[in-house]
Every structure is written in structure tokens, then in C-alpha cells.
């Protein structure tokens, strides 16, 4: 990318941050280094055909002092996140950090090892397990625990065990209730749009370097290998529930609807160790992640942190999580968890206080300030979530997208509004001139707003594209939040080089195989092209022989509705019998000739339904119309 250096204004601001933030507080570095045993050398993991799926060494530039092109607080966070290797948390508990976006943890049991959160990819999980075994011996994997339903906590499961070992009962898989449903929904229902936006969020195609991607605050980036899923054999359902796995007693605390819809914490009495999943990490997390998701509940999140403090604080010597480094010592743990709790409570309560005085989300976010104790703690800084977009998320959770002003109830979309704004300001060249003045004065936010209109009026206007890219770049250089930086730089990249699409996918075959029939039908319904299907009136009875289940599907008014009822050929347009659920997936993907499908009635009815499906676009435009 043809990047530009930071402006004098941004450079001065970043130097001022270096002078005013408490960089003398090095406790995080001591904690991140504590228990180090050995690193993967080199810190690179490859997959099939030699494809590099993880390269921690590409962040070697972070060993230097913070440059003017990166907020020094973000630089510090990235320096902590690149620490890579096997670490002892306490005797019997080990973590491999720095081999993916998340951590993988190993709990030594009577006969083998329990794996917590096997990373994003098969390849990185296998490399982490090999590193553990190189230092701790060839222990067999006896169980896997998924802390929650995001892909960086289960996608690499085939790197530590196999479906055959799970089926044979040699390996247990534990997860919170609702795990599979939410894991599949998030990666399938809106997965195409989320994954495209995640390419911006994580800076997937950005060059690593002082003027490029330096991490994402929660870690460095997701790995790019094989994603898989093995269905849990044990669903953990209630707080206080205990399980003994390979001789290790585990006490669980449910925390649904927090950082993930299905999430849990758990405590190991014999190790006096508490795993907080992803609900207490060394940054402010997202209440609404910029890739897209359901808005999370900060009030409930804070409540579960209070419950964890009350339940485990007096008997915990170390707290560790699925990202970042542990915290040791009872007083430190209680302070850490309490500040994390206060962070989410304050965001929730103060946003509601102000919205009830008539302020809108964008207005509240503009003036919102955390109390001094929360500003002072490094682990409350917005490296991944931000105060700004989290406040807007709280507003959205309670009030929705509309701010109550009738002029904003029925606004033109950007493609229609932009030409009107441009005309009102005197034409494209005039808009660019005004934006250039704003840019030169350091008002990058206003310049970006003007240039957004310019590009949506004429995406090919060369001067607008160039200045817009330069503007986003300066906003990136000044951002403490890593994913804001990545969004800004990704937008600049596409303005300069064109649409880079979606370089990764999480809809792996093993993920799709876990879709229930209801989720398959939901997915079909989501993809019906309504206008093309308005005039269709179809009734299909679908039978799955392997499941012993019958469903009736109706397509009317462009709406696909399903019910689980017995087949009735007399009233159906067609009856379709699939030998297996997988055969329907294959049929929908285009395999119409293989055995395992039988029709009665109108044999073309299912094809008619599938013929009005729309295909998602993984490469839709974001920064341009």
C-alpha cells in the first residue's frame, strides 16, 4: 500500500500520549513473562501446501520504541500480545500464547491433559499441543472445554483430538448450554456479512508494520488455517454444576449473554485457579463488535463478574482467560475483576442516565468520560472495544437505531444523499477543496465525512479517493483502538488498490454438518429472493431417514415456513425423502444426481424452491457504493 507518513499533528499527539500515560507501570510485562518455558522457533505455522497460516515473527518490528504512526498505548498492548510460547500459570496449568488470536490452555489430569479453547485453526492448535508436549511430555488429550461459542475458541479442535476419539468415548467435550446453536448461527446466518467486515476489523490483508497492522488489541489476528467443530458430549447447564474430568474437579459458573450468547467461567479447586473465558481480559471488550453481532448486555456482564468475585475471589490465587496473560494474587485478582465489572456497569448506567435526559447515542459517546480509577488502569483501555462505540451499543440495545428526531426517520441512503450534498456544496471539486482544508487543519473527522459524500456521488473521482485514503490513514495513526485503526487502514487500502474481498471463511464443512434441520431451513429462508418468489405457492414434505423426522415446508408470498409434522402426500406439491441430513446439504449445493434422494409428486418442486435462492456476496463493497 502506498502509505503516507503521519502528519505533524498526529505525530505531536502521539508524542504527547507517550509523555502523559503511565508507561512506568510495567506490571503487565512482568505478568506476561511470568512462567515462560519455551517458544516455538520460528514462530510460524504452515498448513497444506506450505501455506503460512500464522506468522508471529512478522511482528518483530514491535521490539522497537513506539513510532509516531501508532498510538503509544496501542503499541504497548501489541508488544504484550506478541509474547509467544508455553507458559506455566501454576504447576499443572499451562498456556500457549501468541500462536493465534486466542490462548490455548492445558490442565494436567490423572492420565492426560484437558485442553481449554483450541484456537481458530487445526494447524495452530496442533502446533501449540506439540510445543506443550515438547516440554511437558507426551500426555494424551482426555477432554476439551469450549469456554464459549466464538470460532477462536473451538475452530482448531481437530488439531488436538479427532471425531473418532470423541465418538469412542476416549475424549470428552464440554461446553455451555446452547453452544452449538449459537456457534452455527453466528457463522452461517449472517456469516457472509460478518466475515467481510471482519476482514476490515482484523486488518487481514494489511501489511504488518508501523504504518500498517500492529494487532487487534485482543491479540494479533486470527490464523488462516482449517476451521472445524466437534459437537460437545457434555452440556454444562447451571451455575454450581461440577464435573470431575480426568481426576480434575471443575466448578462451573454460567455467564450467557455476555461476551458471547453461550459462555461460562470455571474454577479448579485443586489449583486455586479461575478461568474467566473472555469476560475479563486486559482491555475494554466490545458490547457490539464492529464486524457485527447481537448487542451484548453490559448489565448482565457486570453481574456475572460480581458473582465470580463473590463465588471464587477468596479462594483464587490466579485468574486466567482465553486472551492475554494471567493475574496472580488474591488482592490483585479482586481489584482486576472489580475494575472490569465497574467498567461495564459504568458504561451501562451512565449511558442510560443520559439517554433518559434526551441525549442520543452519538451525543453521549462524544462527551462520555470514564472515572479516573478506570482511566488509570491499563486493562480498561479501549484497544478492542471502545468507549465510543460501546456507548452507542448500549443506546442501540435499549432504544434501537432511531434517535427520535423525525427528520432522521426517513433519510435518503448514502447513494441518494451524496449527490444532493455534493450539489448543495457546489460540486465535487468544491467538496474536495473543503475537505482538503479540513485535512490540512487536522480536522480529519470532518474531512472523512465530506469525502464519504464525494465518493458516494462519484467513486471514480481520483482526487477524492486519494484525499479520502490519506484522511483515513491519519485517523488510523491516531487511534488507540486497534480495530478502529484496522478499519481506517482497510478503507484506505481499498480506496487505493480496490476491493480485497473476504480472505477467510468460517463456514467449514464440519460447521455446516452441525446445522439442525431447523437451522438448514432457516438458512434457506434467509436466502429466498423474495420478489422472485412472490408468485410461487409450494408445499413440500421433507423426510430425513437418518433422523426419523418429517417436516412440511411452504413457500408463499416469498416466505419459507417450516413445521415439524407428519408427511401428507395428498396435500403436498411434492414429497422428498433424504437418506441423511447431509444429502440435503449436498443437494442444495448442486449435487442432484447422487443416490439418497427420492421424490413423489412434482419432482421439480424442490428445484423450483432452490432456484429462487439468492447467493450471498462475500465481496460486497464497504468504502464505495
DSSP result, 305-357: HHHHHHHHGGG-SEEE-SSS--EESHHHHHHHHHHHHHHHHHHHHHHHHHHTT
How many angstroms separate the most distant Cα atoms in the chain?
A: 80
Q: Beta strands 140-145 and 172-176: pairing type? A: parallel
In eight-state DSSP terms, residue 213 is B
Section 200-228 average pLDDT: 96
- Distance between CA 98 and CA 34 in Å, rounded? 14
Binned at pLDDT 50, 70 and 90, residue 57 comes out as very high
347-384 pLDDT tens trace: 999 999 999 999 999 999 999 999 999 999 999 999 99
**pTM recorded for the entire structure:** 0.96
- Distance between CA 210 and CA 67 in Å, rounded? 7
141: CB partners within 8 A, 6+ apart: 112, 113, 114, 115, 129, 160, 161, 165, 171
- Please give the grid coordinates belonging to residue 235: 452440556
On the question of pLDDT at 37 being above 80, the answer is: yes
- Distance between CA 142 and CA 335 in Å, rounded? 34
Cell numbers 464486524 correspond to: 291
Question: 219: helix, coil or strand?
Answer: coil
Closest by Cα among 338, 158, 179 to 262: 179
Q: What torsion, rounded to 10 degrees, do the Cα atoms 462, 468, 474, 480 define?
A: -140
Section 156-175 average pLDDT: 98
Binned at pLDDT 50, 70 and 90, residue 187 comes out as confident
Return the axis-axis angle of helices 179-188 and 191-201, rounded to nearest 10°: 80
Cell numbers 488482592 correspond to: 331
- Distance between CA 92 and CA 529 in Å, rounded? 55
Q: Beta strands 273-275 and 318-320: pairing type? A: parallel
On the question of pLDDT at 1 being above 80, the answer is: no
Section 195-220 average pLDDT: 96
Binned at pLDDT 50, 70 and 90, residue 11 comes out as very high
Q: Do 159 and 123 touch, CB atoms closer than 8 A?
A: yes
- Please give the grid coordinates belonging to residue 189: 446466518
Q: Do 118 and 160 touch, CB atoms closer than 8 A?
A: yes
3-state helix, strand, coil in the chain (%, to 5): 45, 15, 40
Of residues 1 and 456, which shows the higher confidence score? 456
- Distance between CA 543 and CA 576 in Å, rounded? 6
- Distance between CA 125 and CA 131 in Å, rounded? 10
- Distance between CA 361 and CA 388 in Å, rounded? 9
Of residues 514 and 397, which shows the higher confidence score? 397
Section 591-617 average pLDDT: 93
- Distance between CA 465 and CA 36 in Å, rounded? 47
Average pLDDT value over all residues in the chain: 96
The pLDDT assigned to 545 comes to 96
Cell numbers 458490547 correspond to: 287
Q: Beta strands 85-90 and 318-320: pairing type? A: unpaired
- Distance between CA 597 and CA 607 in Å, rounded? 13
Binned at pLDDT 50, 70 and 90, residue 119 comes out as very high
- Distance between CA 256 and CA 181 in Å, rounded? 13
Q: How far is CA 427 from the centre of its chain?
A: 40
The pLDDT assigned to 507 comes to 65
Q: What is the CA radius of gyration of the chain?
A: 26
DSSP alpha helix (H) spans, 356-443 = 361-367, 372-376, 387-399, 414-424, 428-440
The pLDDT assigned to 474 comes to 98
On the question of pLDDT at 336 being above 90, the answer is: yes
The pLDDT assigned to 578 comes to 96
On the question of pLDDT at 134 being above 80, the answer is: yes
402-438 pLDDT tens trace: 999 999 999 999 999 999 999 999 999 999 999 999 9
- Would you say how long the chain is, in residues? 625
- Please give the grid coordinates belonging to residue 379: 486493562
Binned at pLDDT 50, 70 and 90, residue 215 comes out as very high
CA distances (Å), 248 to each of 162, 232, 240, 499, in order? 22, 18, 16, 50
Share of the chain above pLDDT 70, in %: 99
On the question of pLDDT at 460 being above 70, the answer is: yes
- Distance between CA 92 and CA 433 in Å, rounded? 64
Q: Do 121 and 159 touch, CB atoms closer than 8 A?
A: yes
The pLDDT assigned to 503 comes to 78
515-561 pLDDT tens trace: 889 999 999 999 999 999 999 999 999 999 999 999 999 999 999 99
**Within 13 A of 243's CA, how many CA atoms are on the CB side?**
22
Give per-residue burial for 300-329: e unless 16+ CB within 10 Å, then b. Answer: ebbbbbebbbebbbeebebbbbbbbbbbbe
256-287 pLDDT tens trace: 999 999 999 999 999 999 999 999 999 999 99
Section 92-96 average pLDDT: 98
85: CB partners within 8 A, 6+ apart: 36, 37, 38, 39, 40, 96, 97, 98, 131
CB atoms within 10 A of CB 462: 9
Question: 142: helix, coil or strand?
Answer: strand
On the question of pLDDT at 506 being above 70, the answer is: no
Section 16-42 average pLDDT: 97
On the question of pLDDT at 571 being above 70, the answer is: yes
- Please give the grid coordinates belonging to residue 597: 434422494
- Distance between CA 303 and CA 256 in Å, rounded? 11
Please provide residue 602's backbone torsions phi and psi, each rounded to the nearest 5 degrees. Answer: -75, 100
Binned at pLDDT 50, 70 and 90, residue 510 comes out as confident
Sheet with 574-578, edge to edge strand ranges: 559-563, 549-556, 537-544, 574-578, 597-601
On the question of pLDDT at 185 being above 90, the answer is: no
289: CB partners within 8 A, 6+ apart: 201, 385
In eight-state DSSP terms, residue 358 is T
Binned at pLDDT 50, 70 and 90, residue 184 comes out as confident
Amino acid at each position: 500500500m502506498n502509505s503516507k507518513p503521519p502528519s505533524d499533528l498526529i505525530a505531536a499527539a502521539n508524542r504527547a500520549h507517550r509523555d502523559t500515560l503511565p508507561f512506568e507501570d510495567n506490571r503487565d510485562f512482568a505478568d506476561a513473562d511470568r512462567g515462560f518455558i519455551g517458544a516455538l522457533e520460528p514462530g510460524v505455522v504452515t498448513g497444506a501446501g506450505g501455506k503460512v497460516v500464522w506468522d508471529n515473527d512478522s511482528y518483530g518490528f514491535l521490539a522497537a520504541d513506539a513510532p509516531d504512526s501508532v498510538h503509544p498505548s496501542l503499541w504497548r498492548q501489541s508488544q504484550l500480545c506478541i509474547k509467544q510460547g508455553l507458559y506455566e500459570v501454576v504447576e499443572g496449568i499451562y498456556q500457549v500464547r501468541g500462536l493465534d488470536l486466542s490462548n490455548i490452555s492445558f490442565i494436567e489430569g490423572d492420565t492426560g491433559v484437558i485442553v481449554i479453547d483450541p484456537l481458530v485453526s487445526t494447524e495452530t492448535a496442533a502446533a501449540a499441543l506439540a510445543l506443550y508436549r515438547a516440554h511437558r511430555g507426551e500426555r494424551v488429550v482426555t477432554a476439551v472445554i469450549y469456554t464459549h461459542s466464538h470460532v477462536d475458541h473451538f475452530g482448531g479442535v481437530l488439531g488436538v483430538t479427532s471425531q473418532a476419539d470423541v465418538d469412542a468415548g476416549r475424549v470428552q467435550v464440554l461446553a455451555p448450554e446452547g453452544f452449538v446453536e449459537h456457534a452455527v448461527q453466528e457463522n452461517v446466518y449472517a456469516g457472509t456479512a460478518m466475515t467481510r467486515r471482519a476482514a476490515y476489523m482484523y486488518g487481514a490483508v494489511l501489511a504488518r508494520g508501523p504504518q500498517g497492522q500492529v494487532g487487534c488489541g485482543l491479540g494479533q489476528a486470527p490464523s488462516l488455517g482449517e476451521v472445524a467443530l466437534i459437537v460437545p458430549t457434555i452440556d454444562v447447564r447451571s451455575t454450581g454444576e461440577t464435573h470431575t474430568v480426568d481426576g480434575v474437579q471443575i466448578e462451573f459458573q454460567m455467564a450467557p449473554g455476555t461476551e458471547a450468547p453461550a459462555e461460562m467461567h470455571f474454577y479448579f479447586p485443586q489449583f486455586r485457579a479461575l478461568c474467566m473465558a473472555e469476560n475479563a481480559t486486559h482491555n475494554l471488550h466490545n458490547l457490539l463488535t464492529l464486524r457485527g453481532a447481537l448487542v451484548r448486555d453490559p448489565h448482565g456482564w457486570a453481574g456475572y463478574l460480581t458473582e465470580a468475585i463473590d463465588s471464587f475471589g477468596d479462594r483464587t490465587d490466579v485468574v486466567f482467560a482465553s486472551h492475554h496473560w494471567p493475574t496472580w494474587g488474591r488482592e490483585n485478582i479482586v481489584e482486576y475483576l472489580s475494575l472490569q465489572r465497574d467498567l461495564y456497569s459504568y458504561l451501562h448506567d451512565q449511558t442510560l442516565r443520559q439517554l433518559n435526559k434526551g441525549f442520543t447515542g452519538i451525543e453521549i459517546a462524544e462527551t462520555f468520560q470514564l472515572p479516573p480509577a478506570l482511566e488509570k488502569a491499563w486493562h480498561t483501555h479501549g484497544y478492542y472495544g471502545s468507549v465510543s462505540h460501546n456507548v452507542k451499543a448500549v443506546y442501540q440495545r435499549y432504544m434501537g437505531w432511531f434517535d427520535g428526531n423525525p427528520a432522521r426517520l426517513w433519510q435518503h441512503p448514502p447513494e441518494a444523499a451524496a449527490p444532493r450534498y455534493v450539489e448543495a456544496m457546489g460540486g465535487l471539486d468544491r467538496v474536495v477543496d473543503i475537505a482538503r482544508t479540513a485535512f490540512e487543519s487536522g480536522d480529519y473527522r470532518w474531512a472523512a465525512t465530506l469525502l464519504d459524500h464525494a465518493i458516494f456521488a462519484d467513486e471514480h473521482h481520483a482526487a477524492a479517493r486519494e484525499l479520502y485514503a490519506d484522511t483515513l490513514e491519519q485517523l488510523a495513526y491516531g487511534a488507540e483502538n486497534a480495530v478502529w485503526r484496522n478499519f481506517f487502514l482497510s478503507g484506505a487500502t481499498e480506496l487505493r488498490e480496490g476491493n480485497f474481498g473476504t480472505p477467510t471463511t468460517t463456514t467449514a464443512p464440519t460447521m455446516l454438518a452441525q446445522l439442525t434441520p431447523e437451522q438448514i431451513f432457516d438458512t434457506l429462508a434467509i436466502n429466498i429472493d423474495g420478489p422472485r418468489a412472490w408468485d410461487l405457492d409450494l408445499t413440500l414434505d421433507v423426510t430425513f431417514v437418518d433422523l426419523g423426522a418429517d417436516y412440511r415446508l411452504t413457500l408463499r408470498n416469498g416466505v419459507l415456513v417450516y413445521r415439524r409434522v407428519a408427511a401428507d402426500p395428498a396435500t403436498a406439491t411434492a414429497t422428498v425423502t433424504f437418506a441423511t441430513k447431509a444429502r440435503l446439504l449436498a443437494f442444495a449445493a448442486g449435487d442432484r444426481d447422487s443416490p439418497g434422494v427420492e421424490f413423489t409428486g412434482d419432482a421439480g418442486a424442490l428445484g423450483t424452491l432452490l432456484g429462487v435462492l439468492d447467493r450471498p456476496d462475500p465481496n460486497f463493497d464497504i468504502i464505495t457504493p
